[in-house]
Structure 1
């Protein structure tokens, strides 16, 4: 009798990691990876790379044009725009990565339960459907209004609307994987439910979750900028790309660079993440490989 085998849990996870293959995906994803890497390095090293204190106000230097001392000029409070854009990227990226990590972790756990336990499936999915029926930006604004403007509040406000999307994706994967012979064999051999869920079923979600995680990071960074631009995001004294644009819109006609520079960085960051996400999806999706073959 033929024995049904499958890769071990850790090996299954590692084989989905696309790092060795990203460089072979084409010039677009490669450039996106380089741009994103530069943005990440600059934001990590921002305390040392920023030429001026991004919080230091100087009324005598307000709205100065670009010069040797202020490469991008200053804002309405005399603060160095370049320093604020560099530091602002650090907060924006942190919010995006944190929101993606939390939403994926919670969504995977809930999706595992919904996909494996038939009795819990209907209850969980109706709750997820109710969340998805509400506009995500309104949920985010309401949560920030309830908890106050802070980084934690913004992360929570972005995470809640993203969880149902992750749950639906994980549930779909588990509904298919639980019928596989190796899962039935594990159950027949007396494996515990915990072992079946986390050793046999969880690795099947790694590939779609890597791709979905990249999209959530990009969406979270954009949502943070929208919330900050509307005045419902991070506290205004904390520089983020959204806050910088929100402060600069009043003086847009006088000095458009107050909005254009943080907007350009936001666009480059989100575009790079989306291009990498598309490239990873094309690499990990076996159906795309079959069509190419």
Structure 2
């Protein structure tokens, strides 16, 4: 009786949960949650001020006071890695929202209106022909370095990828009988786009959004490492690694810890994206397996 009661209260056992979702997505979700919590609670979690310089404590090894040691300015490395997660996640989320919203609107128009499609896709092809990092560096150089400028510079190269995805979905969906019936009944074009075509893009866009977020976080780190990102005074994973590269032979852990945090964050987002793809489109997962 007690066993039946426990099964009713907890119908899904731990083993069944792992088998249904998978170990990799669960671990990826756990790691990503920890990174997000650390970023949100950075003022409470970080043991020291990330920008406070104490030259007397420069390049100290790990200790009870400085768990990961200090950098060349005597700043606590752990605190800087924790605060760096804030900037990376903020830029990743902001770029994802802007790229998906703008790309969805342009993709719907391009896929439905044939005359506009020819012009829009040539513009998108031109943007995709430029290396995303070089284009972002050019935009930041012209507009100045700030978080919002970096977000805009990373968003522009990501928009064509979203546009092409939405356009391909709309091109096939607009030939469906229910869309033709809605048009023949006099339904306005904005309503056709909003109610009949846009819902078909939700599942693919959810998966695409995870890849855009991971790509944005990585691109921001590259820009900061090259000195074209946010201000060097702002603790970001890219800035931390850029400042520590001249001390790589002496203190390789100065690059290792922010690099590990960056790698774990991107890997977790990509694994969750693969899991979302398999759940939302099981046929794709079967084809690849």
TM-score, with length taken from structure 1:
0.90
- Indicate the residue corresponding to 2:242 in structure 1: 246
The counterpart of 1:90, out of the listed 86, 91, 94, is 86
User: Cα offset for 1:181?
Assistant: 1.1
Q: 1:168 to 1:272 in 2, by over 3 A?
A: same
Aligned with residue 228 of structure 1, among 224, 228, 234: 224
Counterpart residue number, 2:213: 217
CA contact (8 A) 2:222 2:238 kept: yes
Q: Using the alignment, how far apart are the partners of 2:142 and 2:193 within structure 1?
A: 36
**Partner in structure 1 of residue 116 of structure 2:** 120
Q: How far, CA to CA, are the matches of 2:18 and 2:175 in structure 1? A: 32
Q: Give the superposition deviation at 1:25.
A: 2.6
Count, aligned residues: 273
Alignment-derived partner of residue 18 in structure 1: none
**Contact 2:277/2:285 (8 A) holds in 1:** no
Gaps of 5+ in 1: 1-20
The question of 1:276 aligning with 2:267 is answered no
Q: Which runs of 5+ in 2 are unaligned?
A: 1-16
Give the corresponding residue for 2:126.
Answer: 130
- Is 1:108 the equivalent of 2:108? no
Alignment partner, residue 54 of structure 2: 58
CA distance in 1, matches of 2:231, 2:18: 37
Map residues 118-267 of structure 1 onto 2, 5 A cutoff.
Answer: 118-267=114-263
RMSD, matched Cα: 1.7
Q: Deviations over 1:155-178 (max 9, x none)?
A: 011100010111000000000111
Task: For 1:113 and 1:217, locate their aligned partners in 2 and report how far apart those are by CA, in whole Å.
Answer: 24
Displacement, 1:45? 0.5
Matched with 1:16 is none
